[in-house]
Amino acid sequence: MTLNSSGPISLGGSTAGQSINLELSQSATAQVSLNDTNVRTLAGVASGAIVMPTNFYGKSAATVNFNDASVTAAGVPSQSAGYRIDVNGFVYQVVNGVDTSLGQWATPTSIGGNYEVFATVTSGSVSSGTTGSWVATSGSPFWTRVTAVAGTVNTVILSMQVRATGTGTVLDTWTVTLEAERF
């Protein structure tokens, strides 16, 4: 979630976009103070006076963080190297159909479906997956590079971006390399 960019903001309450408690993943009726560390962090005011509601407009306690990734599949027969951004808030490498978590990308994980990703091919080509347009993380987007011919190595390098759904602000960028080699 994100707090509203105008209008009322309150410490408590059950209205999403208005309640600081809800934005901080606390109960609507939790005891809260403007001097609480997590409230100051959300406001972006480490010390001194916090101006209600101005310091909270458009703020979000949610974070996204991606790391560069390299996925390699090598052997016989056909080989498939894949990368999936899952709606569950985790990212996975997928080697020959076997998923392995590369870690959490969304905090809290419940926000995993609130974003879009854009993959740009900088080298090679994908075997599957959407490139060149924004795709929703709610669909757990997935990219692969496959090789079926003995003695070949197929590689694709993707430049990745993520943004909140419907906004133009890029929140993170990273690189993904997928390599499939058949012996």
Q: What is the pLDDT of residues 8-32, one digit of tens each?
A: 999 999 998 999 999 988 899 999 9
Domain ranges of the chain: 1-61, 63-182
| pLDDT confidence band for 72 (50 / 70 / 90) | very high
HEC per residue, 42-107: HHCCCCCCCCCCHHHCCCCCCEECCCCEEEEEEECCCEEEEEEECCCCEEEEEECCEEEEEEECEE
Q: Which one is predicted more confidently, 1 or 23? A: 23
Q: What is the pLDDT of residues 123-145, one digit of tens each?
A: 999 999 999 999 999 999 999 99
Mean pLDDT across the stretch 58-65? 91
- pTM for this model (two decimals): 0.81
Q: What is the pLDDT of residues 136-183, one digit of tens each?
A: 999 999 999 999 999 999 999 999 999 988 888 899 999 999 999 999
